[in-house]
């Protein structure tokens, strides 16, 4: 077996990508056993199984490629005498039946028998079964619906273990931890003869793209950067990072045509690569980066870069011709100490401020417990300078003439009708609520005495808010996150409208009207 063949087993197109109970080739078995990372999911499944052999259904739910079957294969022999296993609930082995009917039959069998049942099932299939499954199983359907809508399934007969429950990333300050992907990459790169990939690499000839790329991937900082990139893709483009996707990704970046750096950002053929293309550091604009690219493409090489380039060549055997490829290298290797550290001068230009801010604010929402003064100040700063400021600018975008602290209620016949009502973060609520998932955090506002929320803020929402604060004016035709912002503005407007002060502003005049119910009078003030 060559290095190439070994790496190819990681591809999602490989025959080994899907695990079945019938054992595969010896080499594949060896590689899989080596790469296998024990997940909390497996622990909790085994824990649940060993707890008791009471008759019940255990659902192991996840996306395709999460590793449901892999776990099943590993535990099947040990527990198959006391538990009934239904491995692939998305399939039917009888051409006359579809997957739903197969499940119906499986559950009917279970109800007659005495053994507990373990079902590996895709979340989508669960939804289908809840909608279309046989009426005889309405107890199971009820539990599934409850589980899908996020409620607690109190029914002890149906247990759900969900892959999505174990987070793919943990945030610790500036660090992005990937509890599954990190160890997986480490295993792939471990310099250990037990590692079949490393063993092959040692014996394979130098000078191929593949062996160079493997050496680059073995740099720990590169692995960490890749984890961060996958985190960004997960956040911004809702990428599902299943075991199969990650392995295929590794196969593509190692075995692709060019250097590792180009393979990461120029890959094709999967949704993950589509999103990574959007995260290409070449899109970053700064004077020094632009200058570097222009100069390099004209053959004007500074002495520092000359040294850096030669050192890279001698260390990794890497020849990069395009200046874009160099920028990608600068980005991916920004934390590595290399040669004269020429690449460190671009670190600030290549910063992902949006993601950094999201990461920080998300953690603030997670960690703020009401006591910490410093955190409270930072929260207030985010709400006032970024969030509320964007909402107000967006609400007032058709009336630049009104004062910044006011909220536009409408512009009937050209008269700007506005009012003001203090908008504040509801800090006490923020202290008691923590975000449950990485994709967004919930914000809570107080408008006057009324409360608004939760308003989930995702990376895209934050991006829009930042853009608005920099003067961008979205319109209703760019139907993206704007819809959510409009919804929020409507909610605030409804509250502000009820205040007892109104401002009417037109070309020449400005009026302030006060509703004085006590005197049954409207007090008018010309401004």
Partner 1 sequence: MQHLLNQLARLNDQKIGDNKIYSFLPYRKGAKEFDYDVVGCNVLSTLMGKHVKKNFSFEKYKTQCLDHLKDKLSDPDVLVDLEEMYFSDATIAKTAPEFLLLRSQEKCNTSTKYLIDLFRGFVSQGASQLDFDSGMNFIERIFLDILSQNLQEPRVQPTEACYLPFVAENFRRDVLFLSKHPDYFLDQLTSCIELYTFIYCSQLGLNIKNWTNGEVPSSKPLYFILDTEKASSERTLVMKGGYRSVAPRMADVFPILSMLEYLNNDSTVPKEPLWAFANAVRSTSAEQHDVVFAEVSKFAEEFRKKRKLHPTNRKPSNAIECMQQLTTYGIKQFDKSAKGDRHSVNATYIKFFETGVANNFIQARGRSSKVLVVNQDFLLLLTNLAIANRSPLRFQTLLAEFQSRGFYFDKSSQQALINFYERVGNVDRMSDSGDAVYVRNTI
Beta-bridged to residue 499, according to DSSP, are none
Nearer to partner 1, 30 or 493 (CB): 493
Nearer to partner 1, 165 or 340 (CB): 165
Write down the least CB distance from residue 412 to partner 1, Å.
4
- Residue 310 found at the interface with partner 1 (CB under 8 A): no
Q: Which one among 102, 128, 259, 296 touches partner 1, defined by CB under 8 A?
A: 128
- Residue 275 found at the interface with partner 1 (CB under 8 A): no
Q: Which stretch binds partner 1 (CB under 8 A): 62-70, 107-115, 259-267, 340-348?
A: 62-70
- Residue 240 found at the interface with partner 1 (CB under 8 A): yes
- Residue 122 found at the interface with partner 1 (CB under 8 A): yes
**Strand ordering across the sheet containing 158-162:** 84-86, 117-122, 57-62, 158-162
Nearer to partner 1, 266 or 447 (CB): 447
- Residue 278 found at the interface with partner 1 (CB under 8 A): no
Q: Which one among 260, 417, 438, 445 touches partner 1, defined by CB under 8 A?
A: 417
Q: Which one among 114, 154, 413, 475 touches partner 1, defined by CB under 8 A?
A: 413
- Residue 443 found at the interface with partner 1 (CB under 8 A): no
CA distances from 320 to 175, 205, 296, 336 (A): 30, 20, 11, 18
The DSSP call for residue 205 is P
Distance CA 208, CA 281 (A): 25
- Residue 526 found at the interface with partner 1 (CB under 8 A): yes
- Residue 127 found at the interface with partner 1 (CB under 8 A): yes
Q: How far is CA 114 from the centre of its chain?
A: 42
Nearer to partner 1, 237 or 305 (CB): 237
- Residue 515 found at the interface with partner 1 (CB under 8 A): yes
Q: Please, what is the end-to-end C-alpha distance for the chain in angstroms?
A: 86
Q: Which stretch binds partner 1 (CB under 8 A): 279-287, 361-369, 381-389, 407-415?
A: 407-415
- Residue 11 found at the interface with partner 1 (CB under 8 A): no
Q: Which stretch binds partner 1 (CB under 8 A): 22-30, 234-242, 315-323, 345-353?
A: 234-242
In contact, 197 and 187? CB cutoff 8 Å: no
- Residue 165 found at the interface with partner 1 (CB under 8 A): no
- Residue 125 found at the interface with partner 1 (CB under 8 A): yes
What is the token pair recorded at 7?
């790496």
Q: Which one among 131, 291, 300, 307 touches partner 1, defined by CB under 8 A?
A: 131
Write down the least CB distance from residue 150 to partner 1, Å.
10
Write down the least CB distance from residue 502 to partner 1, Å.
6
Write down the least CB distance from residue 199 to partner 1, Å.
33
What residues numbered 314-333 form the site for partner 1, per CB under 8 A?
none
Tell whether the torsion through CA atoms of 264, 267, 271 and 275 is positive or negative: positive
- Residue 136 found at the interface with partner 1 (CB under 8 A): no
What residues numbered 475-504 form the site for partner 1, per CB under 8 A?
479-481, 483-484, 487, 490, 493-495, 497-500, 502, 504
In contact, 332 and 352? CB cutoff 8 Å: no
- Residue 511 found at the interface with partner 1 (CB under 8 A): yes
**Paired sense of beta strands 423-425 and 175-177, if any:** unpaired
Distance CA 234, CA 362 (A): 15
What residues numbered 75-114 form the site for partner 1, per CB under 8 A?
90
Write down the least CB distance from residue 446 to partner 1, Å.
17
Q: Which helix (H) or strand (E) holds 250?
A: helix 243-255
Write down the least CB distance from residue 267 to partner 1, Å.
18
In contact, 265 and 279? CB cutoff 8 Å: yes
- Residue 270 found at the interface with partner 1 (CB under 8 A): no
Nearer to partner 1, 164 or 177 (CB): 164
| Structure-token match 């600068």, residue found | 330
Nearer to partner 1, 21 or 131 (CB): 131
- Residue 39 found at the interface with partner 1 (CB under 8 A): no
Write down the least CB distance from residue 497 to partner 1, Å.
5
CA distances from 110 to 36, 62, 116, 304 (A): 31, 22, 7, 71
Phi/psi region, residue 153 (left: phi>0; alpha: psi -120 to 50; beta: rest), is beta
Write down the least CB distance from residue 509 to partner 1, Å.
7
Beta-bridged to residue 424, according to DSSP, are 446
- Residue 468 found at the interface with partner 1 (CB under 8 A): no
> Residue 260: which of 275, 274, 244, 276 has the closest Cα?
276
What is the token pair recorded at 327?
């920028």
Distance CA 524, CA 420 (A): 16
ω into residue 412 within 30 of 0, thus cis?
no
The DSSP call for residue 135 is G
Distance CA 264, CA 240 (A): 17
Return the half-sphere exposure (C-beta side, CA atoms, 13 A cut-off) of residue 403.
12
Size of the site for partner 1 (CB under 8 A): 57
Write the CB contacts of 284 (distance below 8 Å, at least 6 apart in sequence). 327, 349, 350
Provide the binding-site residues for partner 1, judged by CB under 8 A. Answer: 61-65, 90, 122-128, 131, 148, 164, 238, 240, 242, 245, 409-410, 412-413, 415, 417, 419, 458, 460, 479-481, 483-484, 487, 490, 493-495, 497-500, 502, 504, 506, 509, 511, 513, 515, 520-526
């Amino acid at each position: 077996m060559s290095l190439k063949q070994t790496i190819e087993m990681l591809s999602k197109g490989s025959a080994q990508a899907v695990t079945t109970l019938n054992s595969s080739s010896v080499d594949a078995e060896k590689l899989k056993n080596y790469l296998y990372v024990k997940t909390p999911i497996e622990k909790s499944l085994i824990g649940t199984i060993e707890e008791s052999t009471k008759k019940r259904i255990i659902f192991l739910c996840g996306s395709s490629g999460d590793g449901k079957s892999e776990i099943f294969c590993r535990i099947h022999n040990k527990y198959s005498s006391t538990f009934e296993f239904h491995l692939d609930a998305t399939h039917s082995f009888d051409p006359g039946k579809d997957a739903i009917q197969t499940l119906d039959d499986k559950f009917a069998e279970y109800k007659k028998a005495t053994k507990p049942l373990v079902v590996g099932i895709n979340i989508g299939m669960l939804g289908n079964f809840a909608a279309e499954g046989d009426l005889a199983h309405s107890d199971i359907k009820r539990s599934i619906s409850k589980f899908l809508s996020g409620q607690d399934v109190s029914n002890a007969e149906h247990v759900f273990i969900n892959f999505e429950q174990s987070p793919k990333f943990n945030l610790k300050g500036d660090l992005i931890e990937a509890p599954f992907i990190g160890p997986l990459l480490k295993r792939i790169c471990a310099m250990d003869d037990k590692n079949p990939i490393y063993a092959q690499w040692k014996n394979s000839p130098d000078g191929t793209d593949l062996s160079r790329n493997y050496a680059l991937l073995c740099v720990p900082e590169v692995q960490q950067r890749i984890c961060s990139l996958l985190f960004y893709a997960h956040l911004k483009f809702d990428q599902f990072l299943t075991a199969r996707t990650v392995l295929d990704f590794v196969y593509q970046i190692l075995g692709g045509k060019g250097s590792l750096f180009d393979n990461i950002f120029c890959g094709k053929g999967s949704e993950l690569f589509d999103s990574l293309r959007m995260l290409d550091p070449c899109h970053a604009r700064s004077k020094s980066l632009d200058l570097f690219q222009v100069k390099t493409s004209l053959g004007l090489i500074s002495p520092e870069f000359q040294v850096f380039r030669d050192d890279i060549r001698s260390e990794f055997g890497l020849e990069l011709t395009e200046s874009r490829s160099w920028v990608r290298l600068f980005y991916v290797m920004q934390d590595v100490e290399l040669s004269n550290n020429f690449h460190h001068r671009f670190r600030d230009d290549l910063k992902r401020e949006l993601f950094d801010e999201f990461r920080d604010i998300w953690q603030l929402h997670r960690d703020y417990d009401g006591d910490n003064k410093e955190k409270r100040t930072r929260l207030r700063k985010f709400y006032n300078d970024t969030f509320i400021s964007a909402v107000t600018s967006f609400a007032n975008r058709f009336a630049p003439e009104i004062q910044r602290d006011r909220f536009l209620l409408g512009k009937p016949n050209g008269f700007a009708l506005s009012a003001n009502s203090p908008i504040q973060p509801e800090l006490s609520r923020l202290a008691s609520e923590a975000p449950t998932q990485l994709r967004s955090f919930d914000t809570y506002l107080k408008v006057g005495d009324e409360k608004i929320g939760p308003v989930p803020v995702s990376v895209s929402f934050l991006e829009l808010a930042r853009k608005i604060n920099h003067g961008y004016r979205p319109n209703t035709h760019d139907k993206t996150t704007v819809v959510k912002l409009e919804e929020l503005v409507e909610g605030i407007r409804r509250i502000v409208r009820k205040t007892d002060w109104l401002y009417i502003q037109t070309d020449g005049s400005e009026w302030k009207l006060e509703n004085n119910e006590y005197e049954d009078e409207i007090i008018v003030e010309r401004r």
